[in-house]
Structure 1
């Protein structure tokens, strides 16, 4: 099995880490399965930097990181502990196809004594590190306190981020595997039918797993700005919504979800966008009650809503109204999405419209392709039109069975 650095470029890991550190204002480091750092530390405290300047201190820090990473891998969830120097750290495991390949480490903070009772403690005597005691104490006084509830919220987002890294690694392996399969197709024509089916299924899973880091990082930047300007209540809401969006994107491997679940995902996405752009994005929803539990392919509505924002709203910044109407007509589920944005360009009115690719990486043509793959060539996006006055209208037809 390949190591973490063999599966993802270190610059990608560094960018994810830096953005996370900027948004949460805690120290972050990504290490391999042995505790050895892969990335350059982000937001490291002066205390920990000074401890690691000692050969023995660095050895203990790496050992501490290795132990908490393996502990998190064993429990398959984020784990809080006190490191050898007495600071609160937490780790989220990076587990790829059942194998632990590294961890995201976070923390270098303090907690009140009453909140430390349930935390794994591996403190050692740091007086043995041959460091200047007065300087060490001065750095210790600079450390910040955080409440356990805040730490647990950051740890949850850290776990979602670790799963995102797993998806990147898995996509790399999938691509390699597809390459090998394609070579075999040339030599073994008799296996073509079975391999073509495998490739189609893998392509759908690959499309479902794509989350472009730009949306993630823009949102984290928004969180960071809100945290700076406010008292973190709104930050907690945005962080919670982002975690739900990422969890929906990263953990839903099945091909179909209920209409209600997809609409909840749309709402979470729009709430974040409304936080970024305040009162400039308005959303109206009208869904017939009998349709809420009907099954549809995952990510067949949210990318179209996102298209309205990316192409209809962001270029001008003018307020936009987006409406979603889902109703039954005979044996069909009809879904209409329209906005009053700047309107779709004439050259993109006919499918395939591969130019319309959103920040999630799923364009209108991919949505249409997945709908037709699931239901047949007669279904999917049946109309895209520029509205007479202003905006764009998209129609989807799905059979009700």
Structure 2
């Protein structure tokens, strides 16, 4: 015969067992729901990141036809002036551009590669402008291992020719200054004509929109939570286009 104590424990077990089961089931459902939520968040974050990189590469591709169009115009001018030697040289330099463009698929590239690419562009322009445009470069030694966005330095230089040197005759100066300040890399392109061209052109922002908007959008996509800016400033008769990004010594963000 079952004692009262045993019977009491049996009744208690019968009462508690369903409650324990219900709590266990509820906990399991909550855990699974939270796990599914975290998985969805991770998937969403990954998808957003992949979308950002897809947008970045699309923007990166847009700038290439824009650049090639302007370069081909330069070579067309040489052909019309019957400057065959310069035209052949410009075609040789153009091959460097194409090789760089089709080999550059990284989000960040070595800064000296970008400098070499920009210098190739300057070679073509100086074939056309001769000694009228003087170019000075100051590249700090502690920046030569840095990684930057591809095509940004060349775009700033190209905009200077397009909106200033092409339009306004006479001697001009272009300065490229690259330096490091704390954890930030500064790239500056100074010129003596761009301020005047901006003041004289109401549609400057529309013409310049492709290159500048491209740079700003890529900065936003690659450094959404870090200091990265593109701006213009003026000191005296000079204008300066400046990009500031986090200093990196790797293409890994």
- After TM superposition, the score normalised by the length of structure 2 is 0.68
Match of 2:76 in 1: 221
Match of 1:318 in 2: 170
Match of 2:32 in 1: none
Aligned with 1:345 (options 198, 208, 211): 198
Matches within 5 A, 1:162-181: none
Aligned with 1:357 (options 204, 208, 212): 208
- The reply on whether 1:289 has 2:137 as its aligned counterpart is no
User: C-alpha deviations, 1:290-327, integer Å up to 9, x for none?
Assistant: 21121111112111111111112222233321111111
- The reply on whether 1:251 has 2:99 as its aligned counterpart is no
Contact 1:383-1:395 within 8 A present in 2 as well: yes
Unaligned 5+ segments in structure 1 are 1-190
Deviation at 1:372, TM superposition (A): 3.1
Greater relative contact order structure (CA < 8 Å, 6+ sep): 2
Contact 1:323-1:339 within 8 A present in 2 as well: yes
Deviation at 1:383, TM superposition (A): 3.5
What is the CA–CA distance in structure 2 between the aligned matches of 1:225 and 1:346, rounded to whole Å? Answer: 31
| CA radius of gyration, larger in | 2
Aligned with 2:231 (options 374, 383, 386): 383
Aligned with 2:155 (options 303, 314, 322): 303
Match of 1:209 in 2: 61
What is the CA–CA distance in structure 2 between the aligned matches of 1:225 and 1:382, rounded to whole Å? Answer: 37
User: C-alpha deviations, 1:178-219, integer Å up to 9, x for none?
Assistant: xxxxxxxxxxxxx87655444432222222223235324313
Q: Across the two proteins, how many residue pairs are aligned to each other?
A: 200
What is the CA–CA distance in structure 1 between the aligned matches of 2:83 and 2:183, rounded to whole Å? Answer: 51
More helix by share: 2
Contact 1:307-1:356 within 8 A present in 2 as well: no
Contact 2:107-2:150 within 8 A present in 1 as well: yes
Unaligned 5+ segments in structure 2 are 1-42, 249-253
1:218 to 1:326, Cα distance in 2 relative to 1, 3 A: same
Match of 2:239 in 1: 392
Deviation at 1:260, TM superposition (A): 0.4
What is the CA–CA distance in structure 1 between the aligned matches of 2:97 and 2:70, rounded to whole Å? Answer: 11
Contact 1:371-1:379 within 8 A present in 2 as well: no
